[in-house]
Amino acid sequence: MIGLLERFYDPTSGTITIDGSAPLDSINPRLYRSRLALVQQEPALFPGSIRENISFGMDVEIAGKPASEADIEAACRAANAWDFVSSLPEGLNTPCGTSGSQLSGGQRQRIAIARALVRNPKVVLLDEATSALDTQSERVVQEALMTAAKADSRITIAVAHRLSTVRDADRIFVFFDGRILEAGTHGELVEKGGMYQKMCDMQRLDNH
C-alpha cells in the first residue's frame, strides 16, 4: 500500500485518488512526491548534524529555497523534538552519528518526523513508525504524529500492527489475506465484534 501511495507502482486495475483529486497516474510524479512525506519504522539518518538531516526533507528545486532556521524549528516543534534538541550542548549542530547512532530510538524517530514535516506535506505516510520503540518513546512519538496529522487539513495514512497507533484514526481498515475485511472507527469495529475486536483483546487494548 505504501509503495502504491508513493507511486512506485501503479494499480493493475482501478484508480487511486487523494482527497478527490485526479488519479495519481495522471499527476506529475515529482510534483506529487514533493507534497508527500514518509516516516518509516527504522528511519535513515545521515552522519551530519541534526540541522542537516532535517534540511534534507526540503525539496529545494520545488520549494525554490532551502529550509530556513524558522522552518527547521517549526518542524522540530511539530515533531515534539524541539525540547530535547535545544537542550543538547550543540543544539541543531549536534552530530547524528552513523545511522543516527548518537541519538536514542525515540529521538531518531522524532528527527525523521521533523524531516518529513519541514516541507509541509499534504500527505504523510507512516509505515510502522512506532513499532520499534519502547513504550515511553512510543507515547512521545505518537503525540507528535497526532499533532502532525491534525495540522493544515493534512491527510495521514498509517500502516500499523500496534492498534494503539491507529485507534484515534478517522477510519481504520483491517486487512486480511490481501483484502479489506473490515472498515470503520475504533468504536464501530469494536461494536461489530469481528477480527478487529479479537485483535484488541490479543493486544489488551482498552475497548472504550
pLDDT tens digits, residue range 136-191? 777 777 777 777 777 667 888 989 888 888 888 899 999 999 899 999 999 999 99
Distance CA 21, CA 43 (A): 29
Supply the angle between the helices 69-78 and 135-150 in degrees, to the nearest 10. Answer: 120
Q: Domains in the chain and their CATH numbers?
A: 2-166 (3.40.50.300)
* pLDDT tens digits, 30-64: 888 888 999 888 888 988 999 999 999 988 877 77
Grid cell of 2 as nine digits: 505504501
Q: What's the confidence (pLDDT) of residue 196?
A: 93
**pTM > 0.75:** yes
Cell numbers placing 95: 552530530
Mutual angle of helices 135-150 and 105-117, in 10-degree steps: 10
The amino acid that residue 52 corresponds to is: E
Provide the grid cell at 124: 504523510
